[in-house]
Amino acid sequence: MSLIHIGTLLLGAVVGAALALVIPAAMERSRYAARRDLLGSWFSSYQQYQGEASKGWVEEKIDIRLEGAKFLLESSDNSIGEYCRATATLHAGELLGKWASIRHEGGNAYGGMLLTVLPEEGVIYGIFSGPRDSGQRIHGAWVMARKEEDLAKAKRLVGAQILEMNDQRR
């Protein structure tokens, strides 16, 4: 086998491997770009998960856009000064992903999320997991709505008992 033949085989393998990564990502991005019902601005509310304040809700706005082959969720106007970024993929009408938050008093929090999308109702609702300052892992409710007045409907859909159950386990 000549060096040219070996070089051609190696080049073909490298190009094939690159295409195996790029083509599926481009297809996902194209599929997600068609989901105009998800992209754009949302009102958001999640259960506070730190300390005794865990009975309340944190209000914010979320912008959903595409970043590569994933949805990027980015917060603004957070009522307790946190900044959150999440990335997610869409599977059977659910956003599955991970989030990270930079808190105004220092320190970071991170975890996973599973959110159900109801585009016809303009709401997204589900759960997130994450650590308390104590290190205990908890689950909380996270809801989004296109209209601020629909946040209450989303909260009813998800139920507000998730953190209460965690508090009972302490």
pLDDT in tens, 27-74: 555 555 556 789 999 999 998 877 655 568 999 999 999 998 899 999
Do 84 and 108 belong to one domain? yes
Do 103 and 133 belong to one domain? yes
101 vs 88, which has greater pLDDT?
88
Do 122 and 73 belong to one domain? yes
45 vs 161, which has greater pLDDT?
45
Name which of 143, 157, 158 is nearest 42 in CA terms: 143
Do 113 and 49 belong to one domain? yes
Do 29 and 60 belong to one domain? no
Instruction: State the Cα–Cα distance between residues 77 and 92, nearest whole angstrom.
Output: 30
Query: What pLDDT band is residue 20 in, cutting at 50, 70 and 90?
Result: low
Do 11 and 66 belong to one domain? no
Bridge-based pairing state of the strands 94-102 and 83-91: antiparallel
Please name the residues in contact with 126: beta carbons below 8 A apart, sequence gap of 6 or more: 94, 95, 113, 114, 115, 116, 141, 142, 143, 158
**pLDDT on residue 127:** 92
Query: What pLDDT band is residue 24 in, cutting at 50, 70 and 90?
Result: low
Do 46 and 22 belong to one domain? no
In the predicted structure, residue 3 carries a pLDDT above the cut 90: no
Q: Compute the average pLDDT of residues 142-164.
A: 80
Please name the residues in contact with 10: beta carbons below 8 A apart, sequence gap of 6 or more: none
Do 75 and 54 belong to one domain? yes
pLDDT digits (tens, 9 = 90+) for 99-146: 998 875 656 788 999 999 988 889 999 999 988 777 788 888 999 999
Do 44 and 27 belong to one domain? no
Do 56 and 3 belong to one domain? no
Read off φ and ψ for residue 49, nearest 5 degrees. -120, 5
Q: Which CATH number covers residue 145?
A: 2.40.128
**pLDDT on residue 160:** 47
Please give the tally of structural domains in the chain. Answer: 2
Please give the residue range of the domain that contains residue 28. 1-34
Do 64 and 126 belong to one domain? yes
**pLDDT on residue 139:** 85
Do 18 and 59 belong to one domain? no
Q: Which amino acid, one-letter code, is at 147?
A: K
Q: pTM above 0.75?
A: no
